[in-house]
Structure 1
């Protein structure tokens, strides 16, 4: 009977993982170190090559080690799926379309050139061309699971990393098919062709897009009416799992289905609630994946082959850093952005392990070679947080030097009460010009050294600063500011900044550029004084131009536009969305006519 009380292997492993999460996350957060390193170290310690190898000698270690790594692999894969789903939530189809040049230009350049150079180096070491190509393209991939949680999807580094990683995720299926086609016995392969997979995949993606747009708003509306967080979470998980299964059934990657599910939900008004309710599960599942990475490192093998492993890791990191950095510079990105992103993207990926397995199964490389590079990949994933810290430190130094060079022109900065314009692109510069026309002192802040340098050469009081840094915000002396204006076209970053600013400065007027009405509603909820949706302003300006051209007097037209703007603003604050915009516009025109 006592034997029946013993936990099963699966239950024991789950308890170890949950215990590790309960210890690692708060402990490393207190030390201000990313928990990514903690999870990898836990996997290394409790895995089959760590304390798990001593279970036969010390049976009590069974309860604090993971004896069956394969049992938790599905949970790790689910963590990657949730991560891609969260990325989709932060995007939208419009933003993805706006990024097409980065995704298919920068992404293709970075992956193609990295794979070519790494393959060339491997050929020089004596590997056959086919094996070198398979290894080169595997090592050219970068880690979505680690890079995006570190960089985010906003800001220059986040957008560049997201674009390259999206292209790699899209290219994963063709890469695996290409490796299969290169196999010595590929002609005997009876599996589906790449043409069939792309055909069926296209049909499934099209069906998901059509039915998703039709059904998801109704599904989440029903879940929201129940006011039950559990039902809302269940509906979210149903959408994610169904989309992932649909794409995997036709040979595409399940992470593509998860990304698509996130994109579809991002188009609804429920995306903020979905993001909040799924975030804890994503962190836990990602921790499981990182523990599996740590379990794959055998320190005895590492010590026995320390020199070749070190050379291999450094070679991959250096080649990928240089390629990514030069690619970003070729696309016109700032030196600081190119340096930080290049180092951040330098390590191999979790998908590298998938491609390595495919290359080994296709007999392009032998098992011993595949095992060696799997250890290289695990080490590369382990040092990714350290590379991120190194890249950020060097990037800040380069940005500071660039900013100092751009500030050599002496410019009188306003003292005392002033308006702070955060983001000095096209919109910020126009706002500053209007403030100058009306004699209002202002100070501009931007993260792009080139913009800062150009503005200061024109005699404008613009400084370089990290808009997402709380320390940088505190140095601005906002106690004397008349207002803070946020003009960046980065919805998630702006929402985070509004919350932070309102917490630090409860009475400061905060005027914000919003992407649309739902974004404006979220900004008002976060504490914005005024949120100006771009879609609303373009509609009002178009209405004004039409009415004036039709012969209506300018004075009444401007008055009606102001009246309508106030009406919409109040409606956004009260309802959180602007569903009746077209109907109200047409009614207004009929009334004026």
Structure 2
């Protein structure tokens, strides 16, 4: 490819990504599906704007490699040790169960046992790139489903190495010949030696080099070394037949407790994002619409059957993996697709004579389409299945016996708990309403009397004693729910004094519209105290730091009262905000001048 062709191809990729991905996100389809659609559109089986799919797919796999390096940077060795159950326990169980069931089904469909075995092993693997991108996009990595998915995907990357190495042996056994190439024990020995070398180099060589480069204060050299580190490790792993992604993951873990961890992550992140997008587009380009057009019913049937069977197996295993009932199906859908290593497994098997060419093309198409199906299935889950599961799992509101406590607390999260504990310490009882059943059971173990129910319901408030209580503390999470509750309380229980949690200044204004004068912004006081501590840490006298914080607090509260009559007038509000900022600067300038005069007087 000459320079002109390269620039044209680059332009095509960028235009396709810039058009398809934002549009997909706008439609709620997610970025991954946007990349897949863009790749399918420009690929050799559609518009034919780009044709060299295989080389692009190999190049873009560095996106997966960089992603694993960044994930490794976020996991210190001690944290990884805690994941050994999910990696080796959950991972081995998933791989064995899926490979066995899918292999048996392939044999029942008439495939020879070698083809059935290869199909079962290859299809049991899932896409690290798609699953991790989806977990990150949905902020699910810290959930039980996310942790189990992470362990399984990491184990698959480890298991792919011996799986690929054993395929030529299987072919040789099938034809009664002696296998070519080095023996398996020699390949395994090289892999172990390289991993050991990686551990030693990562511990004792890379950190001093990073320290030396950091002292040069040349950011571009630090970025260059970060890329050199990832690419060098990837090539070294590939040379001995080890997964490049696994090698860079181990390197990331070894540097996870380094002082340069965040700098490395920041430098790698842009390249990772671009190459991952390119990888998804390459997967989209690999969809052979010719094979699909020849037998659409067969192909779509195989894709549907594969995804359904794998999802069911994973959903059945989810209980054993400690995943909550409501997330079983979500967990199954997250890793129900085929994976990147399936392309490698099928390619090696075809080269060894285990898969006929038409069978390889069919299996590759099934894997690619299953990758496309995952974002679509998750979208269906979010919009159709999840609401129904939530409705089925939602418990009925508790039957509340007559309550006569002076305080009613609506919402017992972090904010409400502090209020409740403070009252409890003074012997003041409160009736507490919350809608999180797990939170309620947890708090009951500590002696709190918490009732499950929707605090915005007037009949529930009546049963909770709102007619005789003196104070209602509104501490529920959602701003709209809190305002709806206040509106109903104002109409039904006008005697009840309302003390409200405010999320931000805009929420404060809407509370004041409803006559609520006692409120606390959830972040303000804590942030103010932190600022005061920072001033003290910088050497400012604690008394002066306290004085500055109190003046800032008083000025901020006064500003809210001044802004409130005009908060719907954006132009006036901006003008008042600038005026308040100037007043604050002038006030602190005068403080600094006064302090300087005092210091000069002490020295004179």
TM superposition score normalised by structure 1 = 0.70
Distance in 2 (alpha carbons) for counterparts of 1:238 and 1:444: 56
Distance in 2 (alpha carbons) for counterparts of 1:186 and 1:76: 38
Shift of 1:48: 1.4
The residue aligned with 1:350 is: 340
The residue aligned with 2:163 is: 175
Shift of 1:148: 0.7
With 293-302 and 109-118 compared, the bigger mean Cα shift is at 293-302
The residue aligned with 1:72 is: 56
Secondary structure at the aligned position of 2:145 is classed as helix
Distance in 2 (alpha carbons) for counterparts of 1:217 and 1:378: 40
The residue aligned with 1:534 is: none
May I ask how many residue pairs the two structures share in their alignment?
470
Query: Is the contact made by 1:421 and 1:443 (CA closer than 8 Å) also made in structure 2?
Result: no
How does 1:149-548 map onto structure 2 within 5 Å? 149-152=133-136, 153-183=141-171, 184-185=174-175, 187-393=177-383, 396-397=386-387, 400-401=390-391, 404-405=394-395, 408=398, 415=408, 420-421=413-414, 453=441, 455=443, 461=450, 474=479, 480-481=500-501, 506-507=523-524, 509=526
Aligned counterpart for 1:124 among listed residues 99, 108, 129: 108
Distance in 1 (alpha carbons) for counterparts of 2:273 and 2:532: 29
Is residue 2:57 matched to residue 1:40?
A: no
Is residue 2:67 matched to residue 1:49?
A: no
Secondary structure at the aligned position of 1:190 is classed as coil
Aligned counterpart for 2:99 among listed residues 103, 106, 115: 115
The residue aligned with 1:138 is: 122
Answer with 1 or 2: which has the greater Rg.
Answer: 2
Shift of 1:461: 3.8
Query: Is the contact made by 2:123 and 2:339 (CA closer than 8 Å) also made in structure 1?
Result: yes
Distance in 1 (alpha carbons) for counterparts of 2:433 and 2:257: 33
Secondary structure at the aligned position of 1:166 is classed as helix
Shift of 1:104: 1.1
Shift in CA distance, 432/196, structure 1 to aligned 2, threshold 3 Å: farther
- 1:263-304 Cα offsets, whole Å, 9 max, x none, are 122221222232223222111101111121111223343133
Shift of 1:455: 4.9
Shift in CA distance, 314/226, structure 1 to aligned 2, threshold 3 Å: same
Is residue 2:87 matched to residue 1:94?
A: no
Shift in CA distance, 361/507, structure 1 to aligned 2, threshold 3 Å: same
Distance in 2 (alpha carbons) for counterparts of 1:442 and 1:170: 53
Shift in CA distance, 217/47, structure 1 to aligned 2, threshold 3 Å: same
Shift in CA distance, 410/110, structure 1 to aligned 2, threshold 3 Å: farther
- 1:229-270 Cα offsets, whole Å, 9 max, x none, are 322211211221222122222221111111112212222122
Secondary structure at the aligned position of 1:103 is classed as helix
Distance in 2 (alpha carbons) for counterparts of 1:476 and 1:254: 49
Query: Is the contact made by 2:87 and 2:152 (CA closer than 8 Å) also made in structure 1?
Result: yes
Distance in 2 (alpha carbons) for counterparts of 1:462 and 1:154: 28
Query: Is the contact made by 1:406 and 1:454 (CA closer than 8 Å) also made in structure 2?
Result: no
Gaps of 5+ in 1: 53-64, 466-470, 484-503, 512-523, 531-593
Secondary structure at the aligned position of 1:182 is classed as helix
Shift of 1:68: 2.6
TM superposition score normalised by structure 2 = 0.69
Query: Is the contact made by 2:43 and 2:284 (CA closer than 8 Å) also made in structure 1?
Result: yes
Query: Is the contact made by 1:43 and 1:294 (CA closer than 8 Å) also made in structure 2?
Result: yes
Shift in CA distance, 219/408, structure 1 to aligned 2, threshold 3 Å: farther
Distance in 2 (alpha carbons) for counterparts of 1:133 and 1:528: 66
With 42-51 and 396-405 compared, the bigger mean Cα shift is at 396-405
Shift of 1:114: 0.8
Gaps of 5+ in 2: 455-475, 484-498, 504-520, 535-604
Could you say what the CA RMSD is over the residues aligned between the two structures, in angstroms? 3.9
The residue aligned with 1:12 is: 8
Shift in CA distance, 437/275, structure 1 to aligned 2, threshold 3 Å: farther
